[in-house]
């Protein structure tokens, strides 16, 4: 089982680059999605054997369409590209902020998934991993989990976008189950990346989170679908 073809959006840095590196290390072919060709090429060279550049801006319909023509069969799609533009609470969140966040974190995922569905349907074991966030859990938001700090309605645009992504994860899982797809969401935990000042300052190792994504990317045919999993494999409440 080492001849899979995978795509990781936003694979040029952060958690995405670690996911791409792990997939390549397992012997799979990995398209490193990057909106900037230079940043993507550097990641591809760093990862080495198995990695290929796929220029892909998840908010640009032309870029998505062009990228989809370059991939014939796809076994694993990791919707990892994401942004967090503000820690604001709802009352201080402008609609523009909300639109910008949803463009990448929600509309981008749906557009990319739709464009790559034909290639995924050519796989015998299609898998989709949506990189969500524990901060999207409405259960944890109302009964704060000790591991989860940004309660009290903060980062409303980001957290609600990931809650919408969770909803799409369930809907894709339900509608694609008969075709053998496994579609799951991952909460990677707070990681030291460029995503937000909070993540960079207090986050853990992004490589650890990538192992959780790898597990969902390579699920066996009797594995779960429509679930929300933490990086360590435990279920996260919706
Ligand atoms: P990161 O280091 O900032 O990486 C984000 C990646 O997404 C970058 O490669 C970035 O590309 C890419 N990206 C952003 N907008 C894009 C677009 N329009 N088209 C294509 N690529 C785009 O952040 P990260 O922490 O690794 O985040 C990865 C995922 O994990 C995100 O979905 C994030 O929400 C999620 N997550 C992170 C944490 C955390 O604590 N870090 C916690 C929970 C969930 P550029 O280099 O071109 O900007």
Does residue 237 lie within any of the structural domains? no
Residue 118 domain flag? yes
Ligand 1 midpoint to CA 207 (Å): 14
Query: Going along 172-212, which residue ranges are E strands?
Result: 182-187
Calpha distance 154→197 (Å, rounded): 14
Buried b (16+ CB within 10 A) or exposed e, 105-116: bbebbbbbbebb
Q: Give the residues of the chain that fall short of pLDDT 50.
A: 150
Residue 50 lies in a domain: yes
Query: Which pLDDT does position 193 carry in this prediction?
Result: 96
What is the domain extent for residue 214?
Answer: 5-230
**CB within 6 Å of ligand 1 — which residues?**
9-10, 12-16, 35-36, 39, 56-59, 80-83, 104, 108, 131, 133, 188, 190-191, 193-195, 199, 203, 206
Domain assignment present for 235: no
Given this model, what pLDDT does residue 1 score? 59
3-state DSSP call for residue 9? Answer: coil
Residue 145: its pLDDT value, please?
A: 63
Please count the structural domains in the chain.
1
Residue 238 belongs to a domain = no
Residues 41-91 pLDDT 10s:
999 999 999 999 999 999 999 999 999 999 999 999 999 999 999 999 999
Candidates 53, 20, 16; CA nearest to 4 is: 20
Say how many C-beta atoms besides its own lie within 10 A of residue 50's C-beta: 20
pLDDT at 111: 98
CATH number at residue 201: 3.40.50.720
For residue 228, the model assigns a pLDDT of 98
The tens digit of pLDDT for each residue in 158-174 reads 999 999 999 999 999 99
Clarify whether 158 is annotated catalytic: yes
């Amino acid at each position: 089982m080492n001849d899979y073809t995978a795509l990781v959006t936003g694979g040029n840095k952060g958690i995405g680059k670690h996911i791409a590196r792990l997939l390549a290390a397992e012997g799979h072919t990995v398209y490193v999605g990057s909106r900037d060709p230079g940043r993507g090429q550097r990641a591809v060279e760093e990862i080495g054997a198995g990695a290929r550049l796929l220029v892909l801006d998840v908010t640009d319909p032309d870029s998505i369409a062009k990228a989809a023509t370059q991939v014939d069969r796809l076994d694993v799609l990791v919707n990892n590209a994401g942004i967090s533009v503000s820690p604001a609470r709802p009352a201080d969140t402008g609609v523009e902020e909300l639109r910008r966040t949803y463009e990448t974190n929600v509309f981008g995922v749906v557009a990319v998934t739709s464009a790559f569905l034909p290639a995924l349907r050519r796989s015998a074991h299609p898998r989709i991993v949506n990189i969500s966030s524990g901060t999207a859990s409405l259960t944890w938001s109302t009964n704060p989990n000790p591991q989860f700090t940004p309660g009290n309605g903060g980062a409303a645009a980001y957290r609600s976008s990931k809650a919408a992504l969770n909803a799409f994860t369930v809907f894709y899982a339900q509608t694609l189950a008969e075709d053998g797809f496994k579609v799951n969401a991952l909460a990677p935990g707070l990681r030291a990346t460029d995503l937000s000042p909070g993540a960079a300052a207090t986050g853990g190792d992004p490589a650890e989170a990538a192992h959780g994504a790898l597990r969902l990317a390579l699920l066996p045919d009797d594995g779960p679908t429509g679930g929300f999993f933490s990086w360590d494999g435990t279920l996260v409440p919706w």
